[in-house]
């Protein structure tokens, strides 16, 4: 009777395992993303990969391969506190996976791997500091496994599935966050593989860096592909180098201008006094609230007389016309839809009511505020941003576009002594 019961129990476990693995194989789909360079550089030193939807980021070598592994595995996660979750990527795994967890306190930590019957197969012990840790687990045969992490009073566990057919000895290796993922001895890949998780429809922003050049691509992955970054020179009169981004037929700066000099080296006056700012009909700029700490985040605020010199943008670039702004906005779906596609996600810089922002264009508009025509700074930092166009309106006014915490992109004319942000467009 006992023998029959054991046979029945094993059969049930086998059915459960096959059912789970089959459903996971159908639901999970990995995408392989590689990177290439063109334009001013033929190599990529590093890529910042951001899953904007999940607010996750990794920096990888330009020669690495990024594996996007689907989160929707059809399995329930362990019922753990948010800061105590073990994350496996990929899961299910074949050759190996990476396991991440947060250790709340320094201490001797034991990582154990059990088979589905509860038998301990592997154990790794290390003295770890507080913080996030990564382990690699590999060499497992096909099956369902439980991984547990214990350190003092801290204890978490997670379920790992292997679709491999490794008959050798499995292994668990601790790696630090600063170590580069090395090739396995039996791997034939020429590049390291870095794993990120995704769900279908997630928006990714990739920033490629090559020396002084950087450029941005934004995409919603739908399959394996090679992303080609077209590097363009964008250096202002101060020697600042800017990220660039291709959106439709246009190439834009991916951040706000922050120069204190024209592209011929001449200085732009930084006007502090409000009355002087108001009566000027010559170029001037300021940082929001005269705080230079706002420079690298939000850029400068320039009056329109600075724009009208034709020398404000880096050589080979210009302040866009009202028509060129409209080309961008129409490409992103029109004034009603473009704002959320242009604005940075979340409330790190935008203060309120920014829940619909996706930044799927990669344009990353920040709420840089503005300086009023009379030199006064209103409470607009964190709530609005304004960009000049190069087009005048009458004798004393000029056109601009504006984006707010909610609502569409707007366009209007204002007096030329307002201080607005500037994004430049490639000639």
Q: Is the pLDDT of residue 55 over 90?
A: no
Q: Is the pLDDT of residue 306 over 80?
A: yes
Partner residues linked to 70 by β-bridges: 198
Q: What is the CA radius of gyration of the chain?
A: 27
- CA 370, distance to chain mean position in Å, is 27
* Confidence band for 4, pLDDT divided at 50, 70 and 90: very low
pLDDT in tens, 99-148: 988 888 888 999 999 987 788 889 988 888 888 888 989 888 888 889 99
* Confidence band for 191, pLDDT divided at 50, 70 and 90: low
Backbone angles phi, psi at 199, to 5 degrees: -120, 150
Higher pLDDT, 142 or 340: 340
Q: How many beta carbons lie within 10 A of that of residue 221, not counting itself?
A: 18
pLDDT in tens, 343-360: 999 888 998 878 899 999
272: three-class secondary structure by DSSP: coil
CA gap 130, 106 in Å, rounded: 5
322: three-class secondary structure by DSSP: helix
In a 13 Å sphere around the CA of 141, the CA atoms on its Cβ side amount to: 8
Give me the percent of the chain exceeding a pLDDT of 90: 58
Residue 8's pLDDT is: 40
Q: Is the pLDDT of residue 308 over 70?
A: yes
Q: Greatest CA separation found in the chain? A: 99
Topology, domain 30-228: Immunoglobulin-like (2.60.40)
* Best-predicted range by mean pLDDT (184-198, 235-249, 348-362): 235-249
Among the residues of 226-368, which ranges form H helices? 274-279, 295-298, 304-307, 322-331, 335-342
> Which pTM value belongs to this model?
0.68
Please report, for the chain, the start and end positions of each structural domain, with discontinuous segments joined by +.
Answer: 30-228, 235-426
């Amino acid at each position: 009777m006992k023998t029959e019961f054991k046979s029945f129990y094993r059969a049930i476990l086998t059915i459960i395992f096959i059912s789970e693995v089959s459903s996971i194989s159908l639901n999970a789909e990995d995408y392989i993303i590689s990177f290439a360079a063109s334009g001013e550089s033929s190599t990529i030193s590093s890529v910042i990969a951001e899953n904007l939807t999940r607010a996750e980021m990794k920096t990888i070598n330009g020669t690495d391969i990024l594996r996007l592994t689907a989160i929707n595995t059809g399995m329930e996660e362990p019922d753990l506190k948010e800061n105590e979750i073990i994350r496996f990527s990929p899961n299910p795994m074949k050759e190996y996976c990476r396991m991440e967890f947060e250790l709340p306190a320094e201490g001797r930590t034991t990582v154990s791997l059990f088979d589905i019957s509860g038998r301990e197969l592997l154990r790794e012990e290390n003295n770890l500091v507080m913080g996030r840790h990564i382990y690699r687990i590999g060499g497992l045969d096909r099956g369902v496994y439980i991984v547990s992490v214990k350190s003092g009073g801290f204890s978490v566990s997670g379920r790992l599935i292997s679709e491999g057919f490794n008959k050798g000895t499995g292994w668990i290796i601790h790696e630090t966050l600063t170590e580069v993922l090395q090739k396995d001895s039996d791997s034939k890949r020429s590049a390291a593989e870095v794993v990120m998780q995704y769900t279908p429809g997630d928006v990714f922003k990739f920033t490629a860096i090559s020396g002084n050049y950087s450029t941005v691509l934004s995409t919603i992955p739908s399959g394996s592909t090679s992303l080609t970054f077209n590097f363009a020179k964008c250096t202002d009169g101060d020697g600042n180098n800017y990220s660039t981004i291709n959106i439709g037929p246009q190439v834009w700066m991916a951040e706000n201008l922050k120069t204190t000099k024209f592209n011929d080296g001449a200085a732009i006056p930084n006007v502090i006094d409000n009355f002087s700012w108001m009566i000027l009909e010559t170029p001037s700029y300021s940082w929001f609230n005269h705080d230079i700490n706002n420079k690298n985040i939000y850029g400068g605020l320039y009056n329109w007389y600075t724009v009208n010199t034709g020398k404000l943008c880096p050589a080979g670039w210009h302040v866009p016309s009202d028509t060129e702004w409209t080309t961008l906005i129409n490409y992103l779906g029109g004034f009603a839809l473009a704002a959320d596609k242009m604005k940075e996600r979340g409330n790190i810089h935008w203060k309120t009511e920014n829940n619909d922002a996706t930044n799927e264009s990669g344009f990353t508009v920040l709420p840089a505020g503005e300086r009023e025509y009379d030199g006064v700074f209103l409470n607009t930092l964190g709530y609005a941003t304004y960009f000049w166009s190069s087009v005048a309106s009458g004798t004393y006014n000029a056109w601009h576009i504006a984006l707010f915490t909610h609502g569409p992109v707007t366009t209007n004319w204002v007096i030329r002594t307002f201080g607005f942000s500037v994004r430049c467009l490639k000639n």
